[in-house]
Structure 1
Amino acid sequence: MTAVVEPQTMARLAYAPCTTKFQLQGKATGTQIPFKFDTIDGNRPKSNANTVFLWQTSDLRIPSTAPLFSMPVKKDEPKGSDVFQPVSLERKPYLMGYGVGPEVKNICSLLLFNEQGEEQKHFFADLSIKEVGTDSVTFKYFMPAGTKGVTDRDWFGLWETDSPADLYSSRPVATGYPSGNLHEGDGALFHGLIRDRKYTIGYFKGGYQDGNPKQTTLACTETFTA
């Protein structure tokens, strides 16, 4: 009798995901918004045109209207802090978005602060692996509300590595893209997986193109053992 091998669940196989974190550092004032960022190792925010955007809204969702202000990140270390200095802020709630590129479609992290300039909520992009088979891996992805995976040309890939920094330079062994425009959904990547070898999935906010997807827009990753 032939034994049936069930797909492995990720409760015992996944490592902690890596993501792009973005939060206030202190309180916002009428003219300054101090913030800190903690992106993925290997990212070069200035060189990769990482950008911060601002809207006046009380919703933790990217609006369909153009941002009031935007500012490129001035540092090339993956972690750091800076001060956003728009012309002036009213005593109202505001939404800030961190993009791993120069456009709104590249936003992968959000923070919301209230009328007193205090951070109220935040959102970070996330991956959650569901099952690992012999030749495929399935997962769920969670991007900011208001983003559109297909329209934004998001994509995801698979690498034979346990180092997220490798995803900026080495080529993936498999790629895919969202099947719809919801900001969260299911994904799958197909590749022969070798038992006990470590792999990493990366989700990229924008830059998909056949044969040569852009690798600077990495939003989050998760590593697992096959």
Structure 2
Amino acid sequence: MPRLKLPTFGVGLVGLMATASALACGVLGGKGARDVQLHVEVASPSLEVGADAQVWTCALTITGSSGTTVDVSYVGPPGNQPHTFQNFVALWRASVVPWGVVPEARLTVPTDGETGSLVLMDVSITRAEYTTAYAVGPEVDDICASALLEADGSAGPVDAVTAKIVSLGADSLTVRYHTLDGYLPATAGNWLGLWRGRVSPYHAPAEALARVPIPQDVTDGDVDINGVKLEPDFPHTLIYFMDKDLKSAAVVLQFTPVAR
């Protein structure tokens, strides 16, 4: 069976079929022409994340300390209401969050500001390392950011949950995530949600393009989201959640797929 290679010229499948039919009639037609079947291959468009992408992550920083207090500043996702959603800050005498250990201090965020500052009081700070952590829900598994207080009283390294798109196709994407040291994202029920449009996690449509759980208890990894139809040149929102509750958003990524 002969195969005729056709240029796409940006037309759709119907246009290609019409072009193929015309070519068959014009090139192969005429007196005594035979019926010819044409095989047309249409490749899926190759996409990438547009330059207008925006990402919001949680953050925690130590701004001061004394022998009995630790001052911190926190940042949550846009639209977060930390007091209503029972966000909290906690402190341990440890170099990382010691999961499963009761903190030496814990304070629910007292206001509903997306960003703010608070003071952990009545703590005994000695010449040792202390870790503070910020959670976007009432459970320890909701912790999404941390900051270290060095033994000399200075502010040390900070860390936070992150997510980014590392590959993008017409019907799939791969997301690379990062969580804190020692965290178990699958056990905690972490998951990724994908919606079309500029979506708030706190008022998200019931119907999502995809809801994909983090499949393993690995602090850092890649997750494939397959079988989704991404609309080029229209905004989409990818959100990383710490538990099944939509209020537990830790990362919000808004992006527009564009043709390469």
CA distance in 1, matches of 2:48, 2:231: 16
Q: Please tell me whether residue 57 in structure 1 is matched to residue 94 in structure 2.
A: yes
More relative contact order, 1 or 2 (CA 8 Å, 6+ apart): 1
Among 161, 170, 177, the residue aligned to 2:204: 170
State the partner residue of 1:44.
Answer: 81
CA distance in 2, matches of 1:175, 1:64: 28
> Which amino acid is 2:204 matched to?
S
> Which amino acid is 1:50 matched to?
N
Among 159, 175, 181, the residue aligned to 1:139: 175
> Which amino acid is 2:203 matched to?
S
Residue pair 1:51, 1:102 contacting (<8 A) in 2 also: yes
State the partner residue of 2:246.
Answer: 215
In the TM superposition, 1:110-121 aligns within 5 A as: 110-121=146-157
CA distance in 2, matches of 1:159, 1:14: 17
CA distance in 2, matches of 1:63, 1:14: 37
> Which amino acid is 2:249 matched to?
L
CA distance in 1, matches of 2:119, 2:169: 46
Change (3 A) 1:67 1:7: farther
**1:70-92 deviation line (CA, Å, top 9, x unaligned):** 11111101011111114322221
Among 1, 9, 18, the residue aligned to 2:56: 18
Q: Which runs of 5+ in 2 are unaligned?
A: 6-40
CA distance in 1, matches of 2:46, 2:156: 40
Residue pair 1:157, 1:189 contacting (<8 A) in 2 also: no
Higher helix share: 2
> Which amino acid is 1:18 matched to?
W
State the partner residue of 1:225.
Answer: 256
**1:128-160 deviation line (CA, Å, top 9, x unaligned):** 101221122211011111111111011110122
CA RMSD of aligned residues (A): 1.8
**1:83-116 deviation line (CA, Å, top 9, x unaligned):** 1114322221100111111111110101001123
Residue pair 1:14, 1:129 contacting (<8 A) in 2 also: no
State the partner residue of 1:195.
Answer: 232
Using the TM superposition, give the Cα deviation of residue 63 of structure 1 relative to its aligned residue in structure 2, in angstroms: 4.0
Using the TM superposition, give the Cα deviation of residue 67 of structure 1 relative to its aligned residue in structure 2, in angstroms: 2.0
Among 88, 93, 96, the residue aligned to 2:129: 93
> Which amino acid is 1:185 matched to?
G
Using the TM superposition, give the Cα deviation of residue 62 of structure 1 relative to its aligned residue in structure 2, in angstroms: 4.1
Residue pair 1:62, 1:144 contacting (<8 A) in 2 also: no
Residue pair 1:106, 1:205 contacting (<8 A) in 2 also: yes
State the partner residue of 2:36.
Answer: none
Residue pair 1:93, 1:115 contacting (<8 A) in 2 also: yes
- Secondary structure of 2:89 counterpart: strand
Q: Which runs of 5+ in 1 are unaligned?
A: 208-213
State the partner residue of 1:210.
Answer: none
CA distance in 2, matches of 1:6, 1:193: 11
TM-score normalised according to structure 1 size: 0.87
Change (3 A) 1:84 1:61: closer
Using the TM superposition, give the Cα deviation of residue 197 of structure 1 relative to its aligned residue in structure 2, in angstroms: 0.8
